[in-house]
Amino acid sequence: MVEEVKVTCKICGSSVEASQFVLDHHYKMMACPMCIRDRKSKQKKNVEKQTEEQLVVADANNEENIEVLRSDASLGEIGVTNSPTTNEEDVDIEKEYRKKLIEREKEKEKAVRAVRLDDEKVKYKCPKCKYEFVYNTVKQAPARCPYCSDDVKEFVC
Whether the pTM exceeds 0.85: the reply is: no
In a domain, 116, yes or no: yes
- Domain shared by 102 and 116, yes or no: no
- Domain shared by 55 and 92, yes or no: yes
Please tell me the number of Cα atoms within 13 Å of 49 on its side-chain side: 6
Is 21 within 8 Å of 14 (Cβ atoms)? no
pLDDT at 17: 92
pLDDT at 146: 93
What digits encode the pLDDT tens for the residues 94-127? 888 888 888 887 776 667 788 999 999 999 998 8
What digits encode the pLDDT tens for the residues 53-97? 777 776 666 666 656 555 555 544 444 444 455 577 778 888 888
Q: Which helix (H) or strand (E) holds 65?
A: helix 33-78
Best CA proximity match to 145, nearest among 137, 157, 131, 112: 131
- Domain shared by 104 and 120, yes or no: no
In a domain, 7, yes or no: no
- Domain shared by 125 and 83, yes or no: no
pLDDT at 78: 44
In a domain, 146, yes or no: yes
In a domain, 135, yes or no: yes
pLDDT at 79: 44
In a domain, 35, yes or no: no
Taking the C-alpha atoms of residue 155 and residue 122, their distance in angstroms, rounded to an integer, is: 10
Residue span of the structural domain in which 63 resides:
47-109
- Domain shared by 56 and 104, yes or no: yes
User: What percent of the chain clears pLDDT 90, i.e. is strictly above it?
Assistant: 33
State the total domains in the chain: 2
132 has a pLDDT exceeding 50 = yes
Encoded amino acid at 28, one letter: K
